[in-house]
Amino acid sequence: MTSNNSFSQEIALFQQFNGRYDYLAIGNTLNPSENNIERDYCDILPESQAELLLPTNTSIVAAYLYWAGSGVGDQEVSLNGNTIFADNTYLVEYNDSTYGILPYFSCYTDITDLITTNGNTSYTLSNLDISETLANNIGYCGNRTNFAGWCIYVVYEDINLPLNQINLFQGLDIINRNVREKNIILDNVNVLDNVGAKIGFLAWEGDSLLNYGESLLINDNIISNPPLNPANNAFNGTNTFTNSNNFYNGDLDFYNIQDNIAIGDTTVEIKLTTGDYDVNGNLQADLIIINNIITVLNSQLPDATVLINNINLECANRQITIDYTVNNINSTEFLPTNTPIAFYANNELVGTSQTVNQIEIGSSENGQINIIIPDNLPNNLEITVVVDDLGNGIGIITELNELNNEAFQDIQLLEIEINPLQPMNNCDEGFNMAYFDLTLQLDTIDTNGEPTSFYVSLEDLQNDANEILNPSHFQNSEVPQTIFLKVNNQPCYDIYYFDLVVENCPPHIPEVFTPNNDGYNDWFNIQGLYNIFENHKLLIYNRYGTLIFEGDNDNPWYGKANKGINNTGKTLPVGTYFYVLNLNDSNYKTLTGWVYLNL
């Protein structure tokens, strides 16, 4: 089992709870006596117990186990025989003028399930072992900072309580003779009613005898709880929950602070001090390690959060559809209608919306928005949805937690490359048209057996409209004509395109024809000429070299003369005639030859 180590981790918000909640803490020390009094003893107990007595008619919301001591940490302990591993470990160091650097640790883990299962009972913590640390470094016993202890925080619900906000802050911070004052600012609080407000601490290594300059201030007001916690000795080995002063070298205390905070406060300033001079003029100071701070404040506010449920992408389109949910789960008041929502792509505002209905405590509302991603943004980008944001980073709703309004998701737009294929060529069958078997192009690509379809425009392909129904026998309508091929390729598709090219193929000239009006072979039918080489000129000569016929695309030769004096309009006699065919095509030379006319 692994854990994370943090050095001198400043106290910061860890969890926030909103509802009819309060908390209770239990714990015990593993020091048999205060180490600043019992100087001949430098060891810790193998285990210690504490009794959990939750009020009746309450239900457990969350529970956390903390354990701490001298050294770099024991990350595996036992609680009522259950092996417990640390979720995280905090470390802090003290530079002792005699012994050098001395580290101290604190671990925590979530034990909600264990406490919920066992409920009110006696809890025993064991297997917290720092004996090797104490044996290998005489500094801890030498300066009397040998300690170990544990604590359980339980947040519970009671329907008879007012709506409260519980903020649990944790880390590991230290004050000592080197750093005699520490200021901690707790933000993310909203005080609507200060009646019943309280603040609690878990601290380590406090000694009752070292009461030199030791004070605890809330918003610059010294707080105390005499006789257990006097104003000049706040950290003195006490447990306020049990009214005990034998929580040796640890402090598990809470204070009523309704006179130290004001309605409307959004922060709480905590100041800890230690150190002063004794009657002999020597500086004396306690070493105090703050592990966590918990506040209970009456606060009736919504808490807007947002989830991205899904982002639908369209192939070859920069439009996306975002499905999202606005929640008001961890709250003490409804979220009002028209709470603004902003949508960002790579931190650029791309859309806005708002809630439609009033969202009650513990409820949610689903929404959807279509957004066009600007062309200046890349295909790989981050989508951010922010609730209670007017689109400029400013909200209009006061919330219990102003730092949980965002949701993020990385996306890659489904941009499609359009791949060219070799053109298809076919002979002109008249008027620059021909028939093509488009499916032959499928032999040039890998379709992986996926469905394919052909279209005459990219727009039709993208809209799945006007598919070519008979691609194996397709006649072009323009020259050249571009055909688009769509091949399914989940989650999108591939696009190919190719041109249909109609070309003039060499004409086939017959060697004989019979203009006898029998309906068969009655004219000089040159295959692949008419309506293909539209600008051709055909000249026919008799065997004496006399021009007897001149034709073009609109005037084929039916065996009659249209030149000369005597034979014009008459069918010519049987015999061999000679032709000169000028195709008027730069790709072809003038064709010459003979043809036999037979009746």
Domain end position, chosen among 412, 436, 454 = 412
What pLDDT does 8 receive?
Answer: 52
Residues 212 and 334 in one domain: no
CA distances to 365, 395, 553 from 228, rounded to whole Å, are 50, 45, 119
> What's residue 6's pLDDT?
37
Domain contains 11:
no
Indicate the residue among 255, 283, 298 that finishes a domain.
Answer: 298
Per-residue model confidence (pLDDT) at position 454? 98
Q: Which two tokens stand for residue 15?
A: 């969890």
For residue 452, give the CATH number of its domain: 2.60.40
pLDDT score recorded for residue 326: 98
CATH of the domain at 407: 2.60.40.10
72 & 90 share domain: yes
369 contacts 351 by C-beta, under 8 angstroms? yes
Q: Tell me: do 400 and 437 sit in the same domain.
A: no
Q: In sequence order, which ranges of 49-186 are alpha helices (DSSP H)?
A: 112-118, 131-136, 139-142
- 98 in the same domain as 60: yes
Give me the sheet containing 512-513, strands edge to edge: 512-513, 591-597, 575-582, 537-541, 547-551
How far, CA to CA in Å, does 291 sit from each of 213, 326, 422, 502? 21, 34, 73, 84
By DSSP bridging, strand 547-551 and strand 537-541 are antiparallel
* pLDDT value of residue 597: 95
Query: How does pLDDT run along the chain (599 residues), one tens digit per residue?
Result: 333 343 457 888 899 888 889 999 999 999 998 887 766 778 899 999 999 999 999 999 999 999 999 999 999 999 999 999 999 999 999 999 899 999 999 999 999 999 999 999 999 999 999 999 999 999 999 988 999 999 999 999 999 988 888 989 999 999 888 888 888 887 767 676 677 889 999 999 988 887 888 888 988 889 988 889 898 888 889 999 999 999 999 999 999 888 888 887 888 888 888 888 888 888 888 889 999 999 898 877 889 999 999 999 988 789 999 999 999 988 888 999 999 999 999 999 999 999 999 999 999 999 999 999 999 999 999 999 999 999 999 999 988 788 899 999 999 998 888 999 999 999 998 889 999 999 999 999 999 999 999 999 999 998 899 999 999 999 999 999 999 999 998 888 999 999 999 999 999 999 999 999 999 999 999 999 999 999 999 999 999 899 999 999 999 999 999 987 677 888 899 999 999 999 999 989 999 999 999 98
Q: Are 293 and 66 in contact (CB under 8 A)?
A: no
pTM exceeds 0.85 for this model? no
Range of the domain at 526: 512-597
Judge if 198 and 60 occupy the same domain. yes
Q: Which residue has the tokens 């004989």?
A: 512
In the numeric block, which tokens belong to residue 495? Answer: 């696009």
> What total number of domains does the chain contain?
4
Judge whether 440 lies within some domain. Answer: yes
pLDDT at residue 314 in the model: 86
Rounded-to-integer distance, Cα 346 and Cα 531, Å:
59
Are 273 and 381 contained in the same domain?
Answer: no
Residue 9 lies in a domain: no
Query: CA angle at residue 339 from 335 to 345, to 5 degrees?
Result: 130
pLDDT of residue 37: 72
Q: Answer yes or no: do 481 and 437 share one domain.
A: yes
Domain assignment present for residue 349? The answer is: yes
Residue 3 pLDDT: 39
> Would you state the pLDDT for residue 262?
83
Cross-strand partners of 201: 253, 293
**What is the model's pLDDT at position 535?**
93
Assess contact for 214 and 235: CB atoms under 8 A: yes
Q: What is the pLDDT of residue 63?
A: 98
- Specify the amino acid at residue 459: E
Q: Are residues 178 and 294 in the same domain?
A: yes
> From CA 375, how far away is CA 255, in angstroms rounded?
58
Write the CB contacts of 224 (distance below 8 Å, at least 6 apart in sequence).
216, 230, 231, 234, 255
The domain boundary, picked from 503, 521, 549, lies at: 503
Q: Do 233 and 108 share a domain, yes or no?
A: yes
Domain presence at residue 14:
no
Tell me, yes or no, whether 29 lies in a domain: yes
Position 10 in a domain: no
Whether residue 150 is found in the same domain as residue 286: yes
Rounded Cα distance between 272 and 11, Å, is: 13
Residue 3 domain flag: no
User: 208 and 173 in one domain?
Assistant: yes
Q: Which two tokens stand for residue 75?
A: 């990350």
Task: Please tell me whether residues 50 and 169 are part of one structural domain.
Answer: yes
Q: Note the pLDDT of residue 279.
A: 85
Match 């008619």 to its residue by tokens. 57
Contacts of residue 370, Cβ cutoff 8 Å, sequence gap at least 6: 319, 320, 321
Give the model's pLDDT for residue 459. 92
